[in-house]
Structure formats: structure tokens, C-alpha cells
Homo-oligomer: A and B are copies of this chain.
Amino acid sequence: MKKINRSNILENFHQAKWDEPVVFELSQPGERGILVPEVDKNIKEMFDINDLLPDNLKRKTPLELPEMSQSRVLRHFMRLSQETLGADVNIEIGQGTCTVKYSPKINEMFARNENMTELHPLQDDETVQGILEIMYKLDYYMREISGMEQFTFQPSGGSQAIMAMASLVESYFNDKGEERDEIITTIYSHPSDAAAPALKGYKIIYIQPDENGYPDYEAFKSAVSEKTAAFFIANPEDTGVYNTRVKEFTELVHEKGGLCCYDQANANGLLGVTRAKDAGFDMCFFNLHKTFSTPHGCGGPATGATGVTKELIKYLPKPIIDKKEDGTYYLDYDFSDSKYSVGKIRSFNGVAQVALKAYAWVMSLGAEGLYEVSKVAVLNNNYMFKKMMDNKWIDAPYIKGKQRIEQVRYTIEKYTEETGVTTGDIQRRMMDFGLHYWASHHPYYVPEPITLEPTETPSRADIDQYIDTLLYVMNEGFENPEKVKTAPHSSVCHQLIEDVLDDSENWILSWKIYKKQNNL
């Protein structure tokens, strides 16, 4: 056999394509997937089911769930899993801002253990010393990383953490009796940095970027006032630009009596490098499902571990985890008697298994390892940045020639003008090579954007493969633009006709609606 010629591009990639019907179509009346334990004979004899159920509540409407044998159920979902491009099978660079890194399998094994899965959240503290210890220690390490004084793991996602931060702001000013109704953020912070505070009744004031991509200091200065409840910001923002003057911003807010809330969902470039507290923030949160490697699970369960400075602890949702003199851990409901406490953000004790995985991840790295994570995340990003910028059709606005932190928002505006091929076209075509590619949140402040974030887990070879593929596709845009515009070609389906998705007469949100539409 001749030497194998390897291309760095997966030209022959094809995603698993099963043409798997919608689950309802697989129903075979009579088939069973699993049986439920029967009612014990004695119990059954004691009662008549009709006496146990009020007539008006008894189900009369037939329950048209599919009827399938166990192996058919398994086959169905196995096939759908193969049609999903999870991080385990993929080079994760193309989901910029999402910090999709490697989630070690050993951590999953910990979380699958009965000593995790089979704990009821209301068990007495004495019976859950293990998980309490884990959460207590993780809290402590988070404090070390951020400089904050107390964390809560209740917020179960970054956006909920932002909502929790906004709630803390509300509590704080309610307590102080101050009426402040404005929250300042920036266009390159996450949409939730605007939306979650808005939910809590705050007016959102956006600061536009200056020519460096930093939030405009002068604009900020004139925005901050006694009406400013808080400043919510990510830093670096989605552009990967770190606002060097951040401390001046927080000082300004503090001067006016406001609070500073740091969106550290993606702290991946900063662990052990710089701390929220030192930049003047009063609170911050970390997405454990991003920076701390717990898998995203198609979108949760997750945790936005939220930390605050000492004076804000009393507003935290209850309980927090503490340790007694004798070394036992407990859920502390009494740490605060403030009637302005946020109360509760999420039921029970947050997503404990995510805390467990994050804890295991921290323990597999130590302080040195966390530092390495950040350094390599930034190295990978700047290596990629350099190589991307070597291409004349790719640009990235702001601070030319300077480093970015962990991600970059690029633009291919000039390329689109030249070829008519948009970032959306490229996105679809990248899928033909088994790669994700993300443009940006809306609206596109950076035209024809691409947001790439390599994290620390791809290798140099992975990064090179990603870039080579992207350049290959971009080149195709010159030579065969139709190919790109009509992509994808190797996915499970072809381009969607999207109109129906926004048309309330025709959208199909469930099988019930599909059946109705087709009179089935």
C-alpha cells in the first residue's frame, strides 16, 4: 500500500445520517418499553382505584405517547446522538464565548456514582457530609481565584447568575433605601447582562466601544450617576479585548455609590492571572460549565457560581454551606437575618453534581494547573489570532497588533463584499468538515462576524486544522461560491426553509401541531 496522503481538512467527512423518524411515528401499539413494579397484592386488595381518584380528575383523555419496545427506544436515541456533534467527537474552537473545553470522563464517573445521584436534597446534613465538603471546598477555591468572600452555587447557569447578581443589587439598595434604576453594560457583554437586569426592573444603559474596543470611558463617565445601581460587564468582552482601564470604571461607579458586577462566565484566560476583587468588583460569577470544564449537556444542567464581597454576604440566597468547629459541614440558613436577602434563586442546593465535577477538575490541576490553563488558553488564542490575521480577507476590529485574551471576534466583511459569501454561508459549509463555527450574538455590531475561542484543550494541530479548513472554505467562496452558499452537503439535512419558523400559522412546535396541520 502506498503512503497515505493526509489532508489537514476532513474533505470526506460525513455526519451519521439515519433518516430517523420522529419518535411518534415509531409507535407500534401493544409494544412496551419497560414495566413498572406491580401494586402489591395486599395493597391492591385493600382499595378500589376508583375510590382513590376523584371522578372529575380521573384521566379520560387518551395518552398518545408512543408505544415502543425497549430496543427500538434505545436505537432511536442512539442514532440521534450520533447525529449530534458534541465536544467529545469534535475540535471545539468554533463555539466562541462558550468555552467548550474537554470534560474529563473520570469526573463523569464520579457524578454517576450513587453517592451523588441518589442523594435527596432534604437529607439531614449529617448524611451528606461528602457533598457538603465538596461544595464547601469548592467555594473556598473560588474565593481564592476571585478574591471574593463567599460563593453560592444556587444560580444554575450564567444567565441565572446575572439575574442573581441583579437581585443582589436590588436587595442591597432596598436595604439602603436608595432608589436607583439604571444598570450600565456594554454591547459586547453577553445579552443576558442586559436582559436579566432588565427583568429585575432596571433600565439598561449601553456603553459603546471606543476605537480600541474598550467601553468608551468618557461616555461611561457621563452615564454613571446617583441613579446607577450597578455596572455589569464582561472583561474581556466577546471581542477578546481586555479593558485595561477596568479599575477606573469600577472606581467611578463606587464613587457614585453603585455596585460593580463582573460577568466572569468565561474566566478561562484569567485564572491565577488576575482577580475580580482586585479590579474593584463587588461580585462576580463563574460558569462551572465553561471555565471549570463541566460538560454543557446540550445546555445544562449547569452552575453560575456567584461570589460576593463580605458586605454583600447577608443578601445571598439561602442557604450557604459552612463548617462547624467540630469539622462537620452544614447548610447555614442563619448566616443572614437581613430581611432584604434575595431569598432563593433555585430550588434546593443548586446543581451539586456540577460542583462535584468542577471540584474534581480543580483538584486535577491545582493552583499551578489553573494558571497553565489560562496561559495556554491565551496562547492558543493568540497563536490562532496571528495565523488568522495573516489572511487578508480576515480582520478583527480594535487594538491592532495587540494580544487578545481567550477569544476573538473576527470579521470577514471585505471577503463578503468581494465574494457575496456571508459568514452564515461559511458557517454552514464548515459543518461539511465536521466543525462548528459561530458568528456572534445579535445584533452583529461587528459585520460578518466569526467568534472563535480555542480554550486550552485543542492541540496546535487541532488549531491548524481548524484554520486550514476555514481558509479552504473561504477559498471555495472564490472558486465555487455556489458550493458554499448551498451548504451543508454532508449533514443530516440540507438548508432549512426558515420562514415557517417565524410564522405562527405554520410553525410546528410539536407533533400535535404537525398532525393537526396535516389532518392526521
Contacts and interface: CB of A to CB of B under 8 A. Distances in A.
A72 interface: yes
A10 interface: yes
Given A13-B17, A18-B434, A19-B10, A1 B82 contact: no
Q: How large is the interface on A (under 10, 10 to 19, 20 to 34, 35 or more residues)?
A: 35 or more
Nearest to A89: B78
A41 to B, nearest CB: 17
A61 interface: no
The count of identical subunits is 2
B14 A69 contact: no
A1 B90 contact: no
Contacts of A218: none
Contacts of A479: none
A140 interface: no
Given A1-B506, A19-B12, A28-B459, A75 B88 contact: yes
A104 interface: yes
A69 B6 CA distance: 20
A520 interface: yes
B89 A75 contact: yes
A31 B88 CA distance: 18
B28 A18 contact: no
A517 to B, nearest CB: 7
Contact of A16 (B15, B102, B500): B15
A68 to B, nearest CB: 8
A514 interface: yes
Interface in A474-520: 490, 500, 506, 508, 514, 517-518, 520
Contacts of A25: 4, 6
A123 interface: no
Interface in A441-487: 457, 459-462
B2 A518 contact: yes
Contacts of A89: 18, 75, 78-79, 82
Given A14-B16, A74-B105, 19 more contacts: A1-B506, A1-B514, A1-B517, A2-B518, A3-B520, A11-B19, A12-B17, A13-B17, A13-B19, A14-B14, A69-B102, A69-B457, A72-B462, A74-B88, A75-B89, A75-B91, A78-B89, A79-B89, A82-B89
